[in-house]
Structure 1
Amino acid sequence: MKKDHSSEPSLKGTLISVFAVGIVIILMWVSIFYLYIDRM
């Protein structure tokens, strides 16, 4: 169970990449939403 400590940096990197992907998806949705509102 002590092997968990060595995989901590990779876990942090995974968390950062997940946050980055989430932000990109949210930005895409917001831009599409504003485009849709603008066309109405």
Structure 2
Amino acid sequence: MARPDLETSKKQNVTSIRQETETDTSLKGTLFSVFGLGLFIVISWLAVFALFLSRS
């Protein structure tokens, strides 16, 4: 037979693990990094395009 005291402790451990891993994290740094990388790519592309136009 299953021991009820073990099952309740397992359920408590599972809920405590879920609470620790499901915390709300701020993604502002990620958003700024993605925007910065996109801006860098666009500026680089425009610089290369301007170089292409000036040489043709």
Counterpart amino acid of 2:23? K
Where structure 2 has 5 or more consecutive residues not aligned to the other structure, the ranges are: 1-21
Please tell me the root mean square deviation across aligned C-alpha atoms, in Å: 1.5
Q: Whose helix proportion is higher, 1 or 2?
A: 1
Where structure 1 has 5 or more consecutive residues not aligned to the other structure, the ranges are: none
Say how many residue pairs are matched: 36
Picking from 24, 34, 38, the partner of 2:50 is 34
Q: Name the TM-score, length of structure 1 as normaliser.
A: 0.78
Structural mapping, 1:1-40, within 5 Å = 3-4=23-24, 7-8=25-26, 11-40=27-56
Identity %: 43
Q: Name the TM-score, length of structure 2 as normaliser.
A: 0.58
